[in-house]
Amino acid sequence: MAVKSIVKVSELEGQLRLDPEYYHPKYYSAIEHLLVFGQFSELRGIAKIIRGRNPPKYTNTGIPVVRAIDLRDITNWEDVLFATPSERLFYLKEGDVLISSIGAGSIGKVELFLDTRKAATVSEVSVIRASNYSPAAIATFLRTKYGYLQLERRITGSTGQLHLYPRDIGTVLVPLLNSKIQSELENILSESQKTLLESKHLYLQAERMLLDELRWDELNPSQPKSYAVFLSQAKNISRVDAEHFQPKFEKLLNYIKAVGKTDLLGDGVLFNKRGLQPTYVEEGNVIVVNSQHLGRYLLNVEATERTDEDFWRNNKRCQLKINDVLVYSTGAYVGRTNVWLEDSKAIASNHVNIIRPSKEYNALYLAAYLNSLPGLWQAEMWASGSGQRELYPEDIARFVLYRAPQEVQEKIADLIVQSYQARKKAKALLEEAKRQVEELIDEAAGG
């Protein structure tokens, strides 16, 4: 529905913002609520807002560097890049509030850095460093509708290159909560972080159990600097790239087959197809899972987008069911695998492969297997393309699966369920903190 807002010339903010979106009534409503609350300050009045700094180059070891993409899961250090300590880096401090400040989709994402390790960040991340006010209170407010709407209003640029500058973040109005509420928010966010780490550890226990069952440490992945294959092997699978024929892959497959019973994935599943490109609907009530929502451990449900009932009803192929195994099929993390555990209407996008296993394979065990080294190596083996890596259903069907005993599958599945429940609790705590702050502002405004 079209929205009309009439703004007087005297209310225009100089020559800086003449775009009509900036004067949308929803932004005025958010600010009015804060003005009624009474106690407030511009963010720059209670904290410094600084941009990170890009390292000259990334390395395999050294100081971990937090990028905007890493804010999707601040506890996942496996995917971060590194920089040399001798470089001029921007180092984070415990209690820094981090905001993704460049790029559609993730811009405006807020995280509280509670880690004690030495880490740096980049220019696409803005850092809020408070001294006399609770960082937990700032982070929580910025996640509320009243905080996010102000951040959204300050985004500049076109769809291709969006920016959120420190100078603009500094003008966001923040409610000044009393010390008791600040302390409560600190406790809630600390408990959320603790529970999120517990979720990660439970998942890694499941992964370790799987690798121990395979006696993974006995596999020798070393390979010669050069190797040869028969032309007939290449013709059989229509592949001539040297990466596919790396000896470590053949070693892996022979090793798994020697450990116990195996199946080709295509023989061990009932369904193996990609989802469909959806029509995104901002106010839709059907969840869309795309590749960027698949995490290192579990699905990032909170970040998902939406479509509507019409698309869901007319595209049964991409409808998700509980225990569907979802595989990242296009892009940087091909092979990454999560399982759908939500009791909600949802669809998978065209860059996500849906797998429904047969009764011989527990869905959570299968997801853990594909998301651990035996599965990820095979994803590396079968992925194709140069600039944009692709993993097609027909190639996923060639994966060799280890059919672990049912009791082992169930133990691994149970740990993953516990991990999922812990993550859900952690996210619920963040929502509770948001709700408390929003209710305080609404009550003051008589809402």
Contacts 24+ apart (CB under 8 A), 113-117: 113/66, 113/74, 114/189, 114/190, 114/193, 115/74, 117/64
Same domain, 48 and 141: yes
What is the rounded average pLDDT of the residues 285-301? 93
User: Residue 280 CA to chain centroid, in angstroms?
Assistant: 19
* Residue with tokens 């005297």, as numbered in its chain: 10
Task: Give the model's pLDDT for residue 113.
Answer: 96
Same domain, 283 and 235: yes
CB of 212 closer than 8 Å to CB of 408: no
Pairing type for strands 346-348 and 286-289 reads: parallel
Q: How far apart are CA 57 and CA 265, in angstroms?
A: 40
Same domain, 155 and 258: no
Provide the pLDDT confidence category of residue 171 given band limits of 50, 70 and 90.
very high
- Structural domain includes residue 54: yes
Same domain, 14 and 104: yes
Residues 6+ apart with CB under 8 A from 78: 296
Q: How far apart are CA 233 and CA 231, in angstroms?
A: 5
- Structural domain includes residue 427: no
Same domain, 293 and 404: yes
Task: Give the model's pLDDT for residue 390.
Answer: 95
- Structural domain includes residue 444: no
Last residue of a domain, one of 144, 176, 208: 176
- Structural domain includes residue 379: yes
> Strand order in 97-100's β-sheet?
47-51, 125-130, 97-100, 110-112
What's the whole-model pTM score? Answer: 0.89
Same domain, 62 and 145: yes
Q: Which of 14-28, 116-130, 268-282 has the weakest average pLDDT?
A: 14-28
Task: Give the model's pLDDT for residue 5.
Answer: 55
- Structural domain includes residue 89: yes
Task: Give the model's pLDDT for residue 377.
Answer: 96
Per-residue model confidence as pLDDT tens digits over 174-202:
999 999 999 999 999 999 999 999 999 99
Q: Is the pLDDT of residue 231 over 70?
A: no
Same domain, 221 and 340: yes
What is the rounded average pLDDT of the residues 288-306? 92
Same domain, 150 and 281: no
Last residue of a domain, one of 138, 161, 176: 176
N residues, the chain? 447
Provide the pLDDT confidence category of residue 14 given band limits of 50, 70 and 90.
very low
Pairing type for strands 63-66 and 346-348 reads: unpaired
Same domain, 153 and 209: no
- Structural domain includes residue 436: no
- The CATH code of the domain that includes 320 is 3.90.220.20
Most confident range (mean pLDDT) of 122-136, 239-253, 380-394 is 122-136
Domain of 204, in residue numbers: 199-413
Total number of domains in the chain: 2
- Structural domain includes residue 442: no
The SS3 of residue 223 is coil
Same domain, 146 and 102: yes
Same domain, 93 and 223: no
Q: How far apart are CA 192 and CA 187, in angstroms?
A: 9
Same domain, 262 and 395: yes
- Structural domain includes residue 190: no
